[in-house]
């Protein structure tokens, strides 16, 4: 076990999953830094994630960064509000957590560009959906992981990407992630702009309901707003009373 402790460095798991019988112990000891694993060993990522799912590792062990955690939490909250059972809510949380995993394959110069993207750069950004699908498609324990990564930028009116799906042809979990991700994208600091005003964000979400976003999911989102479960909060605080890690 002492050797395992030496495998952690700078919050990444410097660990070759193919050559170890100690995967469960490693998961028990540390936050599972999925981005770190994908960055260092892309060829082993599917194997590692399969093991995570097979071992039923607690979802809070995943480390996908604050943005992934926020979107996952909003996804789960909306799914619960829509009446999904506990098992599905848990599954949708995991899918939401990994929805942007394909961005690891996008050049940082494009991903972190502070100014407006060119058309060519935007096309590169859009590739994160197919890259995420490619990474996750072989995870048989939760097949919908790949679906969430692939389809969360589809639009209700069919004008999204990558496949131009519309309405109920968009997978259910992707419809929910789309609302959760849209809210978080506007109500948090990004490279290209500061966090928007809460009421302004709500106004935009109402405006795009039925075009960009699924109206039933938007209705569930606003029920949470009305109940105060999603609300205007201080920086780094999320819905409810829990704070997010840096």
The secondary structure of the chain as a DSSP string is -HHHHTTEETTEE---GGG-S-HHHHHHHS-B-HHHHHHH-GGGHHHHHHHHHHTT--GGGB--HHHHHHHHHHHHHHHHHTT--HHHHHHHHHHHHTTTGGGGGS-HHHHT-SSPPPHHHHHHHHHHHHHHHHHHTT-TTSTHHHHHHHHTT--TTS--SSS---GGGS-HHHHHHHHHHHHHHHSS-BTTBPPPPHHHHHHHHHHHBTTTB-HHHHHHHHHHHHTTSS----TTB-STTPBPP-
Whether pLDDT at 224 is above 60: yes
Whether pLDDT at 153 is above 50: yes
Question: Which is more confidently placed, 103 or 10?
Answer: 103
Task: Encode pLDDT of 158-167 as tens digits.
Answer: 999 999 999 9
Q: What is the pLDDT of residue 234?
A: 58
Winning range, highest mean pLDDT, from 25-29, 30-34, 82-86, 195-199: 82-86
Question: Which is more confidently placed, 46 or 210?
Answer: 210
Question: Which is more confidently placed, 23 or 221?
Answer: 221
Whether pLDDT at 37 is above 70: no
Q: What is the pLDDT of residue 101?
A: 80
Q: What is the pLDDT of residue 189?
A: 78
Q: What is the pLDDT of residue 134?
A: 84
Beta-bridge partners for 13:
8
Are the C-beta atoms of 117 and 68 separated by less than 8 Å?
no
Poorest-pLDDT segment among 152-156, 203-207, 236-240: 236-240
Provide mean pLDDT across the span 59-79: 75
- 63 pLDDT tier (thresholds 50, 70, 90): very low
Structure tokens at 88: 């599905």
Poorest-pLDDT segment among 67-76, 152-161, 212-221, 236-245: 236-245
Whether pLDDT at 23 is above 50: no
Provide mean pLDDT across the span 201-208: 97
Q: What is the pLDDT of residue 40?
A: 45
Distance CA 169, CA 164 (A): 10
Question: Which is more confidently placed, 169 or 143?
Answer: 169
Distance CA 226, CA 222 (A): 6
- 6 pLDDT tier (thresholds 50, 70, 90): very low
Cβ neighbours of residue 215 closer than 8 Å, sequence gap 6 or more: 156, 209
């Amino acid at each position: 076990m002492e050797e395992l402790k030496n495998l952690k460095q700078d919050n990444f798991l410097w660990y070759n999953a193919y050559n170890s019988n100690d995967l469960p112990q490693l998961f028990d000891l540390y936050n599972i830094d999925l981005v770190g694993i994908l960055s260092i060993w892309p060829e082993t990522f599917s194997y590692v994630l399969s093991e995570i799912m097979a071992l039923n590792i607690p979802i809070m062990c995943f480390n996908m960064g604050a943005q992934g955690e926020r979107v996952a939490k909003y996804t789960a909250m909306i799914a619960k509000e829509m009446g999904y059972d506990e098992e599905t809510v848990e599954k949708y949380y995991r899918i939401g957590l990994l929805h942007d995993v394909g961005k690891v394959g996008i050049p940082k110069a494009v991903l972190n560009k502070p100014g407006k993207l060119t058309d060519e750069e935007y096309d590169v950004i859009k590739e994160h959906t197919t890259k995420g699908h490619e990474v996750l498609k072989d995870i048989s324990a939760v097949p919908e992981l790949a679906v969430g990564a692939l389809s969360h930028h589809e639009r209700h009116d069919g004008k999204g990407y990558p496949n131009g799906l519309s309405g109920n042809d968009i997978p259910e979990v992707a419809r929910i992630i789309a609302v959760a991700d849209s809210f978080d994208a506007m109500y948090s600091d990004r490279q290209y702009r500061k966090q928007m005003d809460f009421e302004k964000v709500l106004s935009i979400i109402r405006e795009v309901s039925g075009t960009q976003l699924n109206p039933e999911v938007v209705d569930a989102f606003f029920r949470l707003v009305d109940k105060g479960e999603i609300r205007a909060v201080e920086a780094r605080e999320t819905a409810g009373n829990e704070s997010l890690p840096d």
